[in-house]
Amino acid sequence: MSTLYFTEDHEYILVDDNGIGAVGISDYAQQQLGDVVYVETPQDGDTFTTGDETGVVESVKIASELYAPVSGEVVETNEALDDNPSLVNEDPMGNGWFYKIKLADAAELEDLKDEAEYQAFLDEIA
């Protein structure tokens, strides 16, 4: 079973039972960006600490940095985004993920928001 967490920067991480998390941006974030035209993701083997910049997503409106929601090592990138960055708009919480990271410390997830907390956060900023 996978567990979903969010950051206040509107990234999500969907963590599986093996401690691997798929990272992307929330539906709210992709709506704010508009049509995504380019995504720069990290390389397999890159390591990050929570909050490190991991890449960039560019839309017709703006470019926005991506940040690591947790510390860990990148184990896979979504190569489909190279040819089809619009997957981020079409399916941000599914096929539009950016990279997968092996968590260095699962306790860091406690600093993130669950779905209900994230929705409450969105309600506050709306």
Yes or no: say if 67 and 51 are a contact pair by the CB < 8 Å rule: yes
C-alpha to C-alpha distance for 70 and 111, rounded to whole angstroms: 9
Residue 99 CA to chain centroid, in angstroms? 8
Q: What is the pLDDT of residues 59-111, one digit of tens each?
A: 999 999 999 999 999 999 999 999 999 999 999 999 999 999 999 999 999 99
Q: Is 50 exposed, middle or buried (0-12, 13-18, 19+ CB in 10 A)?
A: middle
Tokens of 5: 């967490």
- DSSP conformational letter for 42: P
The residues, any chain, with a CB within 8 Å of residue 48's CB and separated by 6 or more, are 42, 54, 68, 71, 72, 74, 101
Residue among 91, 93, 95, 48 nearest 69 (CA): 48
Confidence at residue 1, expressed as pLDDT on a 0 to 100 scale: 67
Helix (H, G, I), strand (E, B) or coil at 65: strand
Tell me if the domain spanning 3-117 has CATH number 3.40.47.10: no
Domain boundaries, the chain: 3-117
Confidence at residue 120, expressed as pLDDT on a 0 to 100 scale: 97
Tokens of 111: 């600093």
Tokens of 112: 């993130």
pTM equals: 0.96
Q: What is the pLDDT of residues 16-58, one digit of tens each?
A: 999 999 999 999 999 999 999 999 999 999 999 999 999 999 9
